[in-house]
Structure 1
Amino acid sequence: MSFILSTLSYMFIPGILTLVIVFGLYKKTPIYDCFIEGAKDGLKAAVEILPFIIAIFVGIESIVSSGAMDFFQRILSPVFALFGIPKELISLILLRPVSGSGSLVLMERVMQNYGVDSLIGQSASVMVGTCETVFYVLALYFGITHVKNMRHAVIAGLIGYFVGVIASVYICKLLQ
């Protein structure tokens, strides 16, 4: 079974590309011209998104390098303890809404330090897999669409995020 799935996964992208080309030829569409136009549009979108991504990464690096992350961990540790959340997850919880790749690095450190089968390791895995990068998504989507009034998007995103954080820890506690 795994051989079949492995073979299908290797053939998926070439199969889709072949299907698109054959369909384009069937419809007598200028395939190359359409590809070039799509590539131009993709590059324009990438150039529009780039300033928002750079701003987020500069902000993250500033927080971590200045020692503010350690300060926030010490201050927020008692609050998270009230919810039964281990203090070792605080930096991941604080970074995840801002950076998906940064939180993956922190999750890897958690796995190395506490193990993949520990409550902390499992909770970190579930958190990274289920909780959204709220500020990254909002900055990206609202920046691209040029929407200035986010209204309730930030509050709704953060409520959903914190519910996901608490649920991931409690579900992992139940499974242990």
Structure 2
Amino acid sequence: MYQWVSLISLWAIPVIISFILIYGWSKRVPVYETFVDGAKGGFGTTIRILPHLIAMMVAITMFRQSGALDMMLQLFRPLLTLLHVPEEIVPLALLRPLTGTGSLAIATDLIAQYGPDSMLGRLASTMQGSTDTTLYVLTVYFGAVGIRNGSYALKVGLWSDLAGVVASLIIVYLVFA
């Protein structure tokens, strides 16, 4: 079974790209020209959203480096103990809506420190897959199209992240405890 999964994952992207190219060619779409036009549009979008990305990265770095994350952990410690939530997973839950790279670094550290088959390793993996980088998504996509008021999307995104964190905790404890 493992060999089949490895073979499929090895060939999936080349097969999909080949299919798209052949399908476009069969429909008489100028594939290369369409690709170049898309790349031009992507470059323009990148230039438009760059200030938003830089502002977000600076804010996230300030949050982590200022010690605010550590202060939040101390504040939540009694509640975490009461709910039997491991304190080590809280930085991942807090940073996941903010930054994909930062949360991936935390998840990687947890997996390296405790092992991929540990409760924390499984919890970090499940939480990483059950939540999204809400603020990053809103910054990039809303900044790209010029939306200034994303308050409803922000509320829904953060509530869904909270639901993903809670569901991760429940599922991992039910399945692996």
Percent of aligned positions that are identical: 37
| Alignment RMSD (CA, Å) | 2.3
In 2, Cα distance between equivalents of 1:88 and 1:7: 36
Indicate yes or no: 2:73 matched with 1:73: yes
CA contact (8 A) 1:77 1:90 kept: no
In 2, Cα distance between equivalents of 1:103 and 1:152: 24
**3-state secondary structure, aligned to 1:147:** coil
Corresponding position of 1:43: 43
TM-score (normalised: structure 2): 0.84
Q: What letter matches 1:67 in structure 2?
A: G
In 1, Cα distance between equivalents of 2:172 and 2:31: 50
Q: Which runs of 5+ in 1 are unaligned?
A: none
Corresponding position of 2:88: 88
Q: What letter matches 1:119 in structure 2?
A: M
Q: Which runs of 5+ in 2 are unaligned?
A: none
Q: CA deviation at 1:19?
A: 4.2
Q: CA deviation at 1:20?
A: 4.3
Corresponding position of 2:104: 104
Q: CA deviation at 1:78?
A: 2.1
Q: CA deviation at 1:51?
A: 2.1
> CA separation of 1:81/1:141 partners in 2, compared to 1, >3 Å: closer, same or farther?
farther
Deviates more, 1:31-40 or 1:119-128: 31-40
In 2, Cα distance between equivalents of 1:23 and 1:162: 41
Deviates more, 1:104-113 or 1:30-39: 30-39
- Residue-by-residue CA offset, 1:20-50 (whole Å, 9 max, x unaligned): 4444544544443323212211211222222
Corresponding position of 1:124: 124
